[in-house]
Amino acid sequence: MPSITPSLWFDNDLEEAAQFYTSIFPNSSIEGFERYTDAGPGTPGEVVSGTFVLDGQTFIGINGGPQFPFTEAVSFTISCTDQAEVDYYWDRLGDGGEESQCGWLRDRFGLSWQIVPNRLNELIADPDPARAAAATKAMLGMRKIIVAELEDAVRDA
């Protein structure tokens, strides 16, 4: 069966991004970078592409320039077991980035992430429509998802 590997287009900061991401996720490594040679077309020694692994998932990166910046049309979701994991990824990936809403943030490289506690999915799938609606409404008012606030909203529904 073929494998699917996300390929990410960076401006000119692939090496820095790979080091940043692999410092955050467990079971991660940089597999290597390809650099321009004297044959060109770029400056000899500069990174043109590379491969890195985040928690067992391989990614390919290319330093392609600013023509195609990341947008929220593509994001990576991190399913978190508890609030501590949400806080961990939110704080690290958000460092130098920009918070959005409903558990989304854009990191310093422009890549979008959804940091989602598993409890959110359980609460919005509650068979009681009032409880599910209360969880959804609470989530829509948050930037970082706070499990205790979701629980409070559902309890009051």
pLDDT of 1 over the 90 cut: no
CB 121 within 8 A of CB 145: no
Q: Which helix (H) or strand (E) holds 47?
A: strand 47-54
pLDDT of 28 over the 90 cut: yes
pLDDT tens profile 31-89:
999 999 999 888 999 999 999 999 999 999 999 989 999 999 999 999 999 999 999 99
pLDDT at 157: 82
pLDDT at 25: 98
Which domains occur in the chain, in start order?
A: 1-66 (3.30.720.100), 70-157 (3.10.180.10)
List Cβ neighbours of 89 (8 Å cut-off, separation of 6 or more). Answer: 24, 78, 80, 113, 115
As a whole number of angstroms, the distance between CA 149 and CA 157 comes to 13
pLDDT at 42: 86
Q: What is the mean pLDDT of residues 22-36?
A: 97
Q: Is 30 helix (H, G, I), strand (E, B) or coil?
A: strand
pLDDT tens profile 111-134:
999 999 999 999 999 999 999 999
Q: What angle do CA 136, 141, 145 make, to 5 degrees?
A: 75
pTM, 2 dp: 0.93
Q: What is the mean pLDDT of residues 5-31?
A: 97
Helices marked H in the chain: 14-24, 83-94, 118-124, 129-140, 147-155
pLDDT at 156: 85
What's the Cα-to-Cα distance from 69 to each of 39, 53, 78, 85, rounded to whole Å? 27, 21, 21, 28
Burial class (CB in 10 A: 0-12, 13-18, 19+), 115: buried
pLDDT at 108: 97
As a whole number of angstroms, the distance between CA 50 and CA 7 comes to 10
CB 157 within 8 A of CB 133: yes
pLDDT at 45: 94
